[in-house]
Amino acid sequence: MPQERHHPGEGPGDGTLAVRAGLPEPVKHEPTLPGPVFAAHFHLPGEPTGPYTYGRDENPTWTHLERAIGTLEAPGESGVETVVFASGMAAISAVLLSQLSAGDAVVLPADGYQALPLLHEQLRAYGIEVRTAPTGGDAQLDVLDGARLLWIETPSNPGLDVCDIRRLVAAAHAGGALVAVDNTLATPLGQRPLELGADFSVASDTKGMTGHGDVLLGHVSCRDPLRAAEVRRWRKIVGAIPGPMEAWLAHRSLATLQLRIDRQCATALGLALVLAEHPDVTGLRHPGLPEDPSHAIAARQMRRFGSVISFELADRARAERFLEELRLVDDATSFGGVRSSAERRGRWGGDAVAEGFIRFSVGAEDPEDLIADVLRALDAARKAVG
């Protein structure tokens, strides 16, 4: 799998960036990462100038985190601005609703995150034309003409299809459209949309970025200060702000991002290779597998292939028994955490997947233990259900 090759003179490596990103200048007797600032308002005599006036607008804890995420999104660049939100959906909504107006057209993935259809309804209610196409095969190109904004999700969730970001960006920009990339599955260590030409890099940091399953958070990063100001204004209007404790926990968690992601990605690929040989598994997808339909494109634009695998078992009963038999894996709907999780996606009813479709998020357990647990559960499910 692609890994960072760090050579002297090329700038800090991913681990160094993750550990040091967003830290303030050292002050004697002060902590290296200041604690969360709990404040609804700030002392503000005279004219209301300066960075911190009211708690819905800015907070020093957000500032440290936003600088840290910006560093990871575009290392070495000083012009990237990041805006953090209370959740990934808040970040997604902020881009769409701050950039689109009645009469505009937007192109969204037909196979994207399950909550996107809720946004389809709201966008149409505002007089915005919503077009959809699958992620695979760069199919969104076919419905791009005249659009104001192209929304890409790659790898897609939960199907793990990949599209060519550079190609789609070039076509969109040629037609005057902006491009936003949902980078949740990859994280900035796996893929850097801004470097690939996107106008916005968006993510639910609830997942891999924070990685411990205890924080809801999202962010938007972009180079254009006017676009960043529009996104930040939307956050102020709707009040979709993160709590200072959540922001501080997120920043703390970034320090282990490279360690977590490398372990999880390596184990995910190892598990995928084992599952590829298992007779009960069909429809296996992981961008790191050489035989995966998306591998060639992923290898050109991804630096790490991610920690999520998808596959199918024979039917609902087999999938549910498999999940019951797992001992080291939580049956949960999130992904990207240090504890492995898996679920039968069909239970939600919103994804176009088979009843036996499993989304499996690989954690930081010992690879041998996790693989053994999965194989044992597969065998137990076959014996129990047939």
Q: Residues with catalytic annotation?
A: 56, 113, 182, 207
- Supply the DSSP symbol for 208: T
Instruction: Specify the amino acid at residue 27.
Output: V
Q: Enumerate residues 6+ apart whose C-beta is below 8 A from 22.
A: 64, 65, 66, 67, 68, 69, 71, 251, 254
- Supply the DSSP symbol for 35: P
DSSP-H helix ranges across the chain = 14-20, 60-73, 88-99, 116-125, 165-174, 187-190, 225-238, 244-254, 257-275, 295-301, 316-325, 367-385
Answer for the pair 116, 127: CB distance below 8 angstroms, yes or no. Answer: no
Answer for the pair 72, 66: CB distance below 8 angstroms, yes or no. Answer: no
Cα–Cα dist 115/317, whole Å: 26
Q: Enumerate residues 6+ apart whose C-beta is below 8 A from 294.
A: 136, 155, 160, 161, 162, 285, 287
- Residue 233 is encoded by which pair of tokens? 């204004």
Three-class DSSP category at 201: strand
Cα–Cα dist 85/162, whole Å: 26
- Supply the DSSP symbol for 90: H
> Roughly what angle, to the nearest 10 degrees, separates helices 60-73 and 244-254?
30
24-30: long-range contacts at Cβ-Cβ below 8 A with a sequence spacing of 24 or more? 24/64
